[in-house]
Homo-oligomer: A and B are copies of this chain.
Amino acid sequence: MPPSAGISIGYLAERTGLAVSAIRYYEAQGLVEPWRNAGGQRRFHRADIRRMSFIMIAQQFGFSLPEIRGFLKDLPGGRTPTKEDWARISEGFRTHLDQRIETLVKLRDNLDGCIGCGCLSLPNCKLYNPEDRAAQKGQGPRYLMGDRPETAAAAENGH
């Protein structure tokens, strides 16, 4: 394996612990861009080992592949990324990551005030329709712990 020839998908898989099929899938998702050798086989930069690792780490934090693609898009495609390149995208990543952790901690603390205390009546439940939408999966507002904004609660005779 001459140094200038790039590394094979199998070697990349071995070095990262990823399945070969997963790497091909990541390519399809635009997370990595190998070139092809004369025989049509994929060749990767050595730096892609680190790129794959970054993807795996970000996934552990719960980021989706499109989000991760967003983090990585600032990495140079043409040349090997430098320390500074990585430091720059890590910083962006770190910001999102702090947000995610903060959301979870906030949610936990609210939980302490709601379920944790055992009161459960919760006219002042902070978990109800939480402001931080980042933690929510999907679409519209979700009313938690059985409470709804003002009027709606009146529909029910005092519980």
Identify the A interface with B (CB < 8 A). Answer: 15-18, 46, 49-50, 53-54, 56-57, 59-62, 83-84, 86-87, 90-91, 93-94, 97-98, 100-101, 104-105, 107-108, 111-112, 115-120, 127, 135-137, 140-146, 148, 159
Contact = CB atoms under 8 A, between A and B. Distances in A.
B145 A50 contact: yes
**Top 3 nearest A-B pairs by Cβ distance?**
A83-B118, A49-B146, A87-B118
A82 to B, nearest CB: 9
A155 B79 CA distance: 24
B108 A94 contact: yes
Contacts of A54: 115
Q: Identify whether the interface residues of A are mostly helix, strand, loop, or mixed.
A: helix
How many monomers of this protein are in the complex?
2
Contacts of A116: 87, 90-91, 94
Contacts of A118: 83-84, 86-87, 90
Contacts of A112: 94
A17 B146 contact: no
